[in-house]
A and B are shown apart, each in its own frame.
Chain A
Amino acid sequence: MIIKQLSVFLENKSGRLNEVSGLLAEAGINMSAFSIADTSDFGILRVIVSDPERALAILREKQFSASLTEVVCLICPNEPGALARALDILSNEGIQIEYMYAFSIEKSANIIIRPANVQKCINALNMHQMELMKASDLYKL
């Protein structure tokens, strides 16, 4: 249930994101979801890729500061109120969220969550019968 997300430090310079996506493309690595957190000086690219370990090795070889971060992917029905219900559960269970982002596929809305404590988050969601995407399924998207 634990997903390995690739995180990359990027300076606010034009062309840096292209370089990352170009390197991944060359290696035949697919990206299925991403978000960018930005500050005035730098950004952090957070991306779900088809082969996190290999992507990490490629970027490090090219001198990028990159790491793998454990996240979970919650599958919600693609309908009004689904996110609110999921968040209620996490809030009631005392799960802290560092950040999250989402992408949808047809009938499902998928939320990538970086909780402060990954295992605690998975346990809480399981307890409430919430559906989590398997890492192997997500990487294949």
Chain B
Amino acid sequence: MIWNEKIECASRDFMNEIQSERLIATVKRVYHNIPYYRKKMQEKGLTPDDIKSVADLSKLPFTTKTDLRDSYPFGSFTVPMSEIVRIHASSGTTGRPTVVGYTRNDISMWSENVTRALCMAGVHQNDMVQIAYGYGLFTGGLGLHYGTENLGASVIPISGGNTKKQIQLMQDFGSTVLCCTPSYALYIAEALEEMNISPDSLKLRVGIFGAEPWSENMRKEIEAKLHIKAIDIYGLSEIVGPGVSCECEEQAGMHVNEDHFIPEIINPETLEPVAPGEVGELVFSTITKEGIPLLRYRTRDLTRLIYDKCKCGRTLVRMEKCKGRSDDMLIIRGVNVFPSQIESILLEMSETEPHYLLIIDREGTLDTLKVQVEVQEQFFSDEIKELQNLTKKIKHNLESTLGISVTVQLVEPKTIERTAGKAKRVIDNRQI
């Protein structure tokens, strides 16, 4: 089913018209309400009157995660707090989360987009949707929840973890749709194998997976192990959360809800738009959001856009699975981790120097993060307990900031490779 056929199958001209009208209004609101963005426009000699249609989009300055961080916590909100009904946040680069606020309209707009995504994935009113994304500050759980309710399907708001219970409810309630991270889907699949439960004894038929990068091979593995169709959903909390785009049953790129979020692809070096169809950094402008509208927000995700009409009938532009990042952000178990975060934590500790190496592995289906730290002379003790206390302290500091478990390994000084200028900080052994 296509939830909003008028929009999802609109002609390009009609879409441009909607986008232009909404963009013009958003630019005005941002200009008058967000001082840092007004300053950026003024520096380019721009006033809101210079933006007459979506064709003028590339004249506008960019918004970055740094802008959001610098205006922490609520400096990017364009409405009074009395109109904000919900706050979400994602992990940030220096321990400060990136905070987003939603008005009542934002929540219903977000729900509409998630509902469209669910329909793209082939979900309908009679489905039993098990939401195993985390509920809380993370947008995954509540985002899917509201979209599913809006569709009229039944929600099982089980949240993440507690795999045995997940499986029990799948059996007892007859869940037909599973929403979680792709790595957790594989984890559940392996738990089923261990418990000798055949996927055919379950009613699962669709999985909606996102919040971390996954490959076509991983899709094949999940589909083979769970006997379901695995659908990729994309989103980021800065833009709205999950449902910015989603695959349809053709599994041929994710349809962007571009009447709310205009996508562009830029060259991350020159910051100029790339030629149509070329890979570059994905940039979004939100054109209906009230709480925290963002113009030309740099996602740092690398992908390309496909403007052809899809076999499913939708004309919404599609984005390919993300091919990587234009910055050094890592996504480990759905959590955003920047090497610079780890560096600042180590710098804050007087005992350590910021020479470290991150080793990411995928053990079974779960990602593991090992942090190697060089033992410097000034904090070397010849007593094991002192070094173990130090290891524990580093582990504690890292875990409380990053929000994922970390193994800390002390290594000899100068064993972490230094290359000219920039040291190699990350070894990612995951086969994604």
Contacts and interface: CB of A to CB of B under 8 A. Distances in A.
8 contacts: A9-B375, A39-B387, A41-B409, A42-B375, A44-B383, A65-B376, A65-B412, A66-B380
A11 B382 contact: no
Contacts of B165: none
A133 B217 CA distance: 68
Name the interface size band of chain A: 20 to 34
A44 B384 contact: yes
B388 interface: yes
A126 to B, nearest CB: 25
A10 B412 contact: yes
B415 interface: yes
B153 to A, nearest CB: 49
B384 A67 contact: no
Interface of A: 5, 7, 9-11, 16, 37, 39, 41-42, 44, 46, 60, 63-67, 69, 98-99, 114
A99 B388 CA distance: 15
A10 B381 CA distance: 12
Interface of B: 375-377, 380-384, 387-388, 409-415
Task: Tell me the interface secondary structure of chain A in the complex.
Answer: strand
Nearest to B388: A39
Given A64-B412, A65-B413, A99-B383, 12 more contacts: A9-B375, A11-B412, A16-B412, A37-B384, A41-B410, A44-B387, A63-B412, A63-B414, A65-B375, A65-B380, A65-B412, A69-B382
A70 to B, nearest CB: 11
Task: Tell me the interface secondary structure of chain B in the complex.
Answer: loop
Contact of B377 (A16, A44, A60): A60
A46 B382 contact: yes
B377 A39 contact: no
B383 A67 contact: no
Nearest to B382: A7
A98 B382 CA distance: 10
Contacts of B415: 11
Contact of A66 (B377, B383, B410): B377
A134 to B, nearest CB: 22
Nearest to B407: A41
A60 B414 CA distance: 11
B412 to A, nearest CB: 5
A11 B411 contact: yes
> Closest 3 CB pairs between A and B?
A7-B382, A63-B414, A65-B380
Contacts of A46: 382
Contacts of A16: 412
B383 A42 contact: no
A44 B412 contact: no
